[in-house]
Structure 1
Amino acid sequence: MKTQTEYIEIVQFQLNEGVSDLKILNAEKGMEKHLSKNYQGFIGRQLLRGKDGFWVVILRMKSEQDMHELLNRMKNDNSSEIVNYRKCVNLKEARLEFYYTT
């Protein structure tokens, strides 16, 4: 039985100065809700906190095309959910990796 391939983005980042755990958790909830309503192929996101001050987001999409579209559209998405999330995350030092399930 063949399973559907999922495309996965893993982002490792640190929070911007002064951002609390509660603030990033609330921003993550808003981001997930926004993506599920507005981006085709969105499967889900998971936010993980490490002991070393780093955070990880695992983003899952149905296809590589959906992933590319999401990344391209998010650059110009100025919704309050996206803006609030960007304010929390140190994007300059974030590390992105892409994977797919087999």
Structure 2
Amino acid sequence: MYDALNTFQQTADWPQLRLAQMRHHLAEHIAKEVAFTPRIGQAHPESKRWRVEILDGEEWLPGGTAFTNRAEAVAHRQDLDARTPRWADGTPVRRRIVQETTQYTVKEA
């Protein structure tokens, strides 16, 4: 391993590697700017997550992990339905998929 590292250090084109690193860094910053351009009063980008909820009596409760896309939440619900379709007393477990959306806005004091 030492020989491979030593060979790399002797043959690497360091100015070219530094330029590639700077390009990558610039691309990350440009992507962040494009991804979130705040509107007036908006403090952070809006976040959206998908969850599977379970009806427990009269109340819907979060059923575990929040997912960043709906397809993952659907797959999770299907897995839960297959593994635990009923409560211990034999009644069917009722589940639903919900989208959680969060916005942060600036409010003047």
TM-score by length of 1: 0.32
Larger Rg: 2
